[in-house]
Amino acid sequence: MGLNFQQGMLLWLLPLAALPIIIHLLNRLRYRSVQWAAMLFLLKATRSSTRRAKLRQILIMTFRVLVLLLFILALGRPKSGWGGWAFAGAPDTVIILLDRSASMEMEDPGSGTTRRELALKLISGAAEGYAGESKLVLIENVLRKPRSIQRAGQLHNFNLTTATDTAANIPAMMQAALDYMVETKTGRTEIWIASDLQESNWHPASPRWASLSSSMSALPQHVSVRVLSTAGDTPKNKALTFIEATRQGHSEDTRLVIDMSVTRDANAAESLPLTMHLNDGRVQKYIELEGQTSAFNQVLPLEDDSTSGWGYVHLPDDYNNHDNEIFFTYRRRQHQGSFILANNSTVARYMALAAAPAPKLLDQSATEVSPSMMAGMNTDEAAMLIWQAPIPSDKEEQSQLLDFIAEGGSVLCLPPGNPGTATLLGLRWGDTDVAPAGQPFTIERWDEREGPLANSSDGTPLELRNLAIKKRQAILDESVDTDAASYELAHFEADRKPFLAMRSHGKGRLYFLSSLPLRDWSSLSDGRVLVPMVQRMLYQGGERLSNTSVANSGEWDPGDENWVPLGKNEQKNPRWQAGVFQNGNQLVALNRPPEEDARETLSQERMMPLFGKVDVYSFSADPTDAKELEHEIWRLFLIAALLCMVTEGILITPPKPTTQAGRTS
């Protein structure tokens, strides 16, 4: 509680605040003496104004001292403690949003404390100040389920505050907090967000922020947000990111190709040992790094003709040991079948070509079926369904699609052309929109890191910028379920409406694409975007047919099944920890989501407006002095100094000259 100073040494200048008093005393000693005749008037004036003059003099002196004092304090960059808020009284409820994503495991080089540990220490210290007065509720980024905390000290020993290999979705956590406030009528509430402000976790471009802030400011109870930023200088850390592991070759020439990348802060060329574990074997190789991100692959021969297996690759320990390992599984390539259920036969033909461009070579098949025939269709051997028809309102048809996704399949919905009210996982089709002649809709930004639009393994981006969309159908997200919010993989440049949206459900994914591969709709039919996109969706959907899979930690739901970690002799929770897990003959490799390795952090200037009219305070955590939460308040001191200066200026302004009357020669 109280003030701390970032430039504490400058506080040695504080005695300078006494300068006005010293100058005043010196002046008193060095008064100019004047022989005066008209003492009669002087005495009269002194008698009537001595008290006021003294008071004025004292005020002027006080303000002068204050100006210097506040100015020196502002130079010292004061930081207000969490206690500074406590003057407002304890809130009824404190909701702690804890980001325990992998990036929060970054250690401070000086103290060795991770960002998560620091956040927990500061938050529990602050929460103890409200013990017995405020109800404490924890929402962490993996389960996003509100949990009551009896004592702030519990936070340190709670399994829901331990390290994870997941990514955080801050807007989704805010939504969970909002739902909790609405459901339980929390009274005056403070939301404490502990995060390293990683931009990929905050999704600042998401339209959800606008609805969140307006909903919160519309609540009957007062809600304020305090953001504890643990972002700081990133030490020299290296992160290993998994891209893909594919089994290639036949019979005796079987090999495993692992695509991965290393992200680091340095630019200088560097050699780094890479240790690879494959089944029971171990291989170490040196890789040469150039630039901040190096994508490369490693080829490991598969000695036996095994159909599946697993392994992991790791870098030497550094400041974040949660981003040094990747896990993988592999399997023999299996037949990838897909069903095209399209009302438009041209669309069906193009999609069939995209789903099986070389059926025999790639062991793929695409079957065109009328959407009305779906009820009697056997999808057991299919990896993907492509649906170009109105969203089925029939519950049986809907559950058939949802079950397919939940089992790991991919479903791609294409615009039916007419708007509909039926939703699938909260998504539905809106109005059709035609671009002005000669000015097609274009796509500027998309998720290049992962998903069906990700860059190729050598970093080449898909040609989305060259896509010309003449006609599109709006994708509307009406989901209320915060756990499965849609994610915009690409949006249009002009109005940021989604081009491709995705929702996870169970082990699979649902995609909504806003245009069709038809000449009057778009240039998708040239295949340069459509084919790789569909192929990746198909590959993802093939997971349901395989006994091995790769997924992102935190996004994969183990359900009630008993998944046992393989490899290292340690207990791991498949809900939020990376590793290879086995359940019977099924293997799953869980990796840290690739967006966790993104270095971009959200600046204060971009973060604060996200909360709209909700009161928000930002604090920065100092790992070297983790006594309390602090935020810089030097501006307040500077403003106060200026106000004092203005007041002093008013006080010393001489009165208006009095005009003299009388007969003078």
Partner 1 sequence: MADTPTTDFLDAEVIARLSRLQVHSRAPMIGTVSGMHRSPHRGSSVEFAEYRKYVPGDDIKNIDWRVFGRTDRFYMKEFEADTNLRCHLILDTSASMGFAGPGAEPKLSYARRMAATLAYILVHQGDAVGLQNFSSHVENELPPQHNAAHLKNLLDLMGTLEPKGETEIVTILHELAEKVRNRALIIVFSDFLTDPEELQECFQHLRYRKHDLVVFHLLDRSELEFKFDRPIRFTDMESNFNIVTDPVTLRDRYLDAMHQHLDRLKQGCVEHNIDYWRVVTDSGFEDVLADFLLARQT
- By C-alpha distance, which of 592, 462, 650, 513 is closest to 165? 592
For position 299 contacting partner 1 by CB under 8 A, the verdict is no
For position 1 contacting partner 1 by CB under 8 A, the verdict is no
For position 658 contacting partner 1 by CB under 8 A, the verdict is yes
**Tokens representing residue 319 in the block:** 């400041």
For position 635 contacting partner 1 by CB under 8 A, the verdict is no
- Amino acid identity for residue 52 in this structure: R
CB of 191 to partner 1, least distance (A): 53
CB of 23 to partner 1, least distance (A): 11
For position 157 contacting partner 1 by CB under 8 A, the verdict is no
Find the binder of partner 1 among 2, 15, 23, 49 (CB under 8 A): 49
Residue-by-residue DSSP string for 226-289: EEEE---PPPS-EEEEEEEEEEES-TTS-EEEEEEEEEES--S-EEEEEEEEETTEEEEEEEEE
For position 665 contacting partner 1 by CB under 8 A, the verdict is yes
For position 29 contacting partner 1 by CB under 8 A, the verdict is no
Residue 438 or 657 with smaller CB distance to partner 1: 657
User: Residue 530: enclosing H or E segment and its boundaries?
Assistant: helix 530-541
Total binding residues toward partner 1, as defined by CB under 8 A: 34
Contact map string, positions 52 to 91, toward partner 1, x by CB under 8 A: xx--xx----------------------------------
For position 156 contacting partner 1 by CB under 8 A, the verdict is no
Find the binder of partner 1 among 1, 14, 18, 45 (CB under 8 A): 45
Distance CA 446, CA 510 (A): 17
Cβ–Cβ contacts within 10 Å for residue 415, how many? 26
Length of the chain measured in residues: 665
Residue 61 or 638 with smaller CB distance to partner 1: 61
Strands 427-434 and 471-477: antiparallel
Find the binder of partner 1 among 9, 39, 218, 437 (CB under 8 A): 39
Residue 40 or 218 with smaller CB distance to partner 1: 40
- Amino acid identity for residue 8 in this structure: G
Using the rule CB under 8 A, give the single segment among 47-55, 186-194, 279-287, 632-640 that binds partner 1.
47-55
Strands 548-552 and 586-591: parallel
Find the binder of partner 1 among 46, 372, 418, 562 (CB under 8 A): 46
What's the chain's Rg over C-alpha atoms? 33
For position 159 contacting partner 1 by CB under 8 A, the verdict is no
Binding residues for partner 1 restricted to 638-657, rule: CB under 8 A: 652, 654-655
**Tokens representing residue 512 in the block:** 């909504």
Whether 614 contacts 191, CB under 8 Å: no
CB of 43 to partner 1, least distance (A): 7
For position 571 contacting partner 1 by CB under 8 A, the verdict is no
Find the binder of partner 1 among 44, 145, 465, 613 (CB under 8 A): 44
How many angstroms separate the Cα of 15 from the Cα of each of 18, 32, 61, 332?
6, 28, 15, 77
How many angstroms separate the Cα of 518 from the Cα of each of 320, 352, 434, 527, 572?
48, 14, 13, 11, 49
Using the rule CB under 8 A, give the single segment among 30-38, 130-138, 217-225, 228-236 that binds partner 1.
30-38
Cα torsion through 590, 595, 597, 598, rounded to 10:
180
- By C-alpha distance, which of 150, 151, 158 is closest to 100? 158
Residue 56 or 519 with smaller CB distance to partner 1: 56
| Chain positions contacting partner 1, by CB under 8 A | 27-28, 31-46, 48-49, 52-53, 56-57, 652, 654-655, 658, 660-665
